[in-house]
Structure 1
C-alpha cells in the first residue's frame, strides 16, 4: 500500500496534496457525477448524508464510496437556486430535517421545513413543520441541530427586503424549534420561532465547540458577511450592509442598534456552507471556520480567537481548483469533505468538468511524493483598482460572465446589448440605481462606487465583446447622481 493512502481507511486514491506548516493534506474524490449536492453532513452512522438539488437524499460510505439513495421528493420545485436545500441528521434522535421549495396549485412558491423518521436505508413519515413564502431566489437555507438539542433553521428574505426585519414573518431569520416542531419556551419572543432577524440570504450555519453559532450570508452588491448569531439579535438588512460605514447606515444605526458582522467581504465572494474545525488531524486549521465560496470558488479558513466569537485571520485555498464549493462537513476523525456546485444554474469559468459534481475529501497523509502539489494560501481579496476590466471582474463577471454573454433567463447578455450601446444614461441609471425585473435576477445598485469607477466599468462594458459605443466620463456619472430639481 502507498504511504499516500491514509491508514488503510479509504479505497479512493489520493491524487493531489496541499502542504501546510505542520503536515500534508491528501486530496481524493469520494463521489462524482452528482446532481448539485447542496448539503453534506456527517451522520451518526459514520456516513456522509447529502441532498441533491433535484430532490433526492442519499448517503455514502466514505471508506468505499458506496452510495445509497434513501429518499426522493417528487414535489420539490427546482429552478435556479430553488430545490432541495438544507438538511440535518439529528445526532441522538431518529430524525432528519429537510428544507425544500415547492410550487402550489396557484403557482406560488413556498419553502417547507419537513421532519422525517430515519431508518437504516429509508426516510419515512414526513411531517411538515413550517411552510412560508418562497421566491425564485433568496430562499436560504440551512438546518442544524444545536448543542441544546434544538433545531436551528435559517431562512432567506424571499427577495422581499421588508420581510427580514418583520417579527411577524418567518423570512430573513434564524428560527429555533423543538425537535417536534413546537416553539421552545425559552425563545426570545413568546410563541415565536424567531431567534434572530434582519438577514438577507443565509447560506451556512455552524456551531463551535463552546456553543457559538456562526452564519454565512450573501450581501447584495457589497458586504458578504460572516455573522455571530445571538439570541434576539438584529442584523439590519436591508438598512445596513456590513459595518454601517455609509452615512445613511450610520444614521440608521444611531436609532436602531444592530449586530455588525464578524467578517465582511467587498468585492463579494458568495459565501456558502460553513463548518467549524478543531481537530488535531490538521493542526494548522484548529479553531477555524471553514467556509466554501461560489463566486470565489475557494475555501476560506477563518481563524477564531479563544472565545470563538471573533475572526482573527483568514487564509484562502483552492481558488478555481474545484470550482464552486457549496458545502463542507467534518468527520469524527478530522477529515474534511467539500461538495462542489458546478452543475447549478450559474457555473463558473471552466466548469463543469465531466466528473462534476463531486464530494472531495481532505485528509492527512504522510508524504506527497509523486502527487500534484496544489498552491498554498492566496492573498485575501483587496479592493478593486479603478480600472474598468478589474472592476468588471470583481463585481460583474460572476453574473454576466467573462465573455459578456450572461446566463439565459437570469442575467442578461451585455455583448451586443442595445441598453449597453445606446444612450449612456440607460446603462448609467442601471449601474447607479439597480434594476428589478420579473424575468431576470435582481440587479443591485452600484452607487457605492466612485464616479470614476462607474465611468471606467461602463466604458469597458461599452467597448468589450464587439460593443463599439463611446466612452463615458466621470462628469456624466456625477450629473446623474444629482437629485432632480
Structure 2
C-alpha cells in the first residue's frame, strides 16, 4: 500500500531506516508480512516458576532523531524473568489481588500468573469451557485481548475477553471468582474476522468505557465504512451498547480508517494513544480523537491531513516495529514490537499532552534481546514515579508461529524503567 505525500516527507518522518527491506514484503497481509504457520500445542508444558534477575540491559542504539524532534533523556531498564513456558500469550490484565490474567491465543485458554512467585494457574469453569470449545484459532485469530473492569467503572472486577468465534470476532463478559470463570455473556458480536488483521485489544478508558480495537479483517474498504465494525476503534458501555458521548450516539464507532490496531492507552492528561500495523511501509503511533479518520486504506503513514485524515505522530519501518501492545507512563509510551523484536519508548516532549508530532520526542529502543514482544502493561501495584520511573510487564511472543523460540519461551518479564538524567 502506498503512502500519500512526497518521498522526502516520508524520509523526514520515518523513525528508522529499512524501508527498502519492508518493500520486499509487498502484498503480504500478516503482522510480519505473511501468514503464520501452525503453532505446536504446548499445553502439557509446565512453566518454570523460579524468578531470575537479569543484568541491567545495555543501552541499545536508537534511530537517528528526525529533524525537529526533541531529544529527551534516555532510560535504563532492568529485566526480571517472572514466568516461562507460556504458549503464544496475547493479552494480559491486572486482577485486584495483584496477579495477572493472561490469554493464550492458540490454546484458547486463560491463565493467572502470580508475579511474586511465577506460579501459573489455569482458569477453569463454564466460561473457560466456552473459550476452549467456541474459539477458533487460525493464523492471527483466536483468544486475544482481555480486560478487567476497573474500580469506578460500571463493572468493577468483571472480566472481558475478545475472541474469534465461528461467525466472527466478539467481546464476552464474565465473572472470575478465584480461578473459576462464570458463563460468558456476549456484549459485542458480528465483528468481521479473518486469519489476519483481527485487532483484538481491550482497554478501559479514564471514563470507565470499554475500548475495542478491530482490524480490517482483510476487507480494506470496510475501514472507511462508518457502518462496518472492522477497521475501527469501538467505545462501548459494559453491556456492549454505544457509550455515551460517541461521535454517533447510535454507533459504537469511536474512530475509523484503521488497518490493525492492537494497542491503546491513555496518558495522565487523558490523551488516547494507539499503535497500528502498517502494510508494507509504515507502522504508526497515533493520537486518537473522537471521530478521527486515520486514513487506511487510502493512506499508510503520513500525508493524509490534506484529505481530512489524521496523520500519525510517529512512524517506523514495518521491519523495525510491527507494534502490538502499548502502555503509557508519566514520561512516555512503550510499544511492544513483534517483527522489530524491540520495546520502543516514545518519550513525551511536553507534560501537557498535544496531538502533533512535536509533542513527542525521538523514539528509543530499550529492550532488544528477547525476541518478539506482544504486550506491555504498567504494573498497577507500583506507583509511577514523578521522575519517569515505572514498572512494566512485557509478554514475549516467540511461539506464535513466526518467531524463533528459545528454551522456556514464551516469557512474562518485569521491566523496571529508570531515567538516566
CA distance in 2, matches of 1:175, 1:22: 34
Contact 2:279-2:318 at 8 Å conserved across structures:
no
Which residue of the partner structure matches residue 45 of structure 1?
97
Length-normalised TM-score, structure 2? 0.75
Aligned residue number for residue 13 of structure 1: 52
The answer on 1:78 being equivalent to 2:128 is no
Aligned CA-pair RMSD? 2.1
2:394 aligned to which of 328, 335, 338: 338
Distance (whole Å) between structure 2 residues aligned to residue 203 and residue 152 of structure 1: 11
Cα distance, 1:190 vs structure 2: 2.1
Contact 2:95 2:157 (C-alpha < 8 Å) held by counterparts: no
Alignment of 1:72-471 (within 5 A): 72=128, 73-74=131-132, 75-92=134-151, 93-104=156-167, 110-132=168-190, 133-244=192-303, 254=306, 256-268=307-319, 269-278=321-330, 287-304=331-348, 305-309=350-354, 310-319=359-368, 321-331=369-379, 332-333=381-382, 334-347=390-403, 351-363=404-416
- Output the TM-score relative to the length of structure 1: 0.65
In the alignment, which residue of structure 2 is the partner of 1:390? none
User: C-alpha separation between the residues in 1 aligned to 2:412 and 2:58?
Assistant: 21
Aligned positions, number = 332
**Relative to structure 1, is the Cα distance of residues 221 and 22 closer, same or farther in structure 2, using a 3 angstrom cutoff?**
closer
Larger RCO: 1 or 2 (CA < 8 Å, sep 6+): 2
Q: How far is 1:24 from its partner?
A: 6.1
Quote the Cα distance in structure 2 between the aligned partners of 1:56 and 1:330.
Answer: 23
- The answer to whether the 8 Å contact 1:81/1:345 transfers is no
Separation (CA, whole Å) in 2 of partners of 1:342 and 1:157: 24
**Residue 413 (structure 1) aligns with:** none
Instruction: Give the whole-Å Cα distance in 2 for the aligned partners of 1:22 and 1:144.
Output: 28
Q: Report the CA distance between 1:23 and its aligned residue.
A: 8.3
The DSSP-based 3-state class of the residue aligned with 2:315 is: strand
Structure 2 residue runs without a partner (length 5+): 1-48, 60-72, 383-389
CA distance in 2, matches of 1:212, 1:267: 25
Asked if residue 62 in structure 1 is aligned to residue 125 in structure 2, the reply is no
CA–CA separation in structure 2 for the residues paired with 1:173 and 1:329? 22
Is the 8 Å Cα contact of residues 52 and 82 (structure 2) preserved in structure 1? no
SS of residue in 2 equivalent to 1:164: helix
Residues in 1 aligned to 2:92 and 2:55: alpha-carbon distance in whole angstroms: 22
Q: Distance in 2 between matches of 1:195 and 1:261?
A: 17
Distance 1:128 1:174 in 2: 18
Deviation of 1:259 after TM superposition, in Å, equals: 0.7
Structure 1: how far apart are the matches of 2:51 and 2:342? Answer: 23
Q: CA deviation at 1:81?
A: 0.9
Give 1:288 deviation, angstroms. 0.7
Q: Take 2:329 and 2:339, find their aligned partners in 1: how far apart are those partners? A: 23
- Partner deviation per Cα, 1:344-390 (whole Å, 9 max, x = no partner): 1211xxx201210110112379xxxxxxxxxx9xxxxxxxxxxxxxx
Q: Is the 8 A contact 2:50 2:82 kept in 1?
A: no
287-296 or 22-31, which moves further after superposition?
A: 22-31
SS of alignment partner, residue 363 of structure 2: strand
How far did 1:25 drift? 3.9
Q: Secondary structure at the match of 2:280?
A: coil
* Alpha-carbon displacement from aligned partner over 1:277-307 (angstroms, at most 9, x marks no partner): 22xxxxxxxx110111011101111101222
Cα offset, 1:62, TM superposition: 0.7
Q: Deviations over 1:233-282 (max 9, x none)?
A: 111100011111xxxx6xxx54x41110011112542111010022xxxx
Rg bigger for which structure?
Answer: 1
Give the corresponding residue for 1:438.
none
Instruction: State how far apart, in whole Å, the 2-side matches of 1:327 and 1:86 are.
Output: 10
SS at match of 2:137: coil
Structure 1 contact 274–290 (Cα < 8 Å) conserved: yes
Q: CA deviation at 1:18?
A: 2.4
Alignment-derived partner of residue 87 in structure 2 = 35
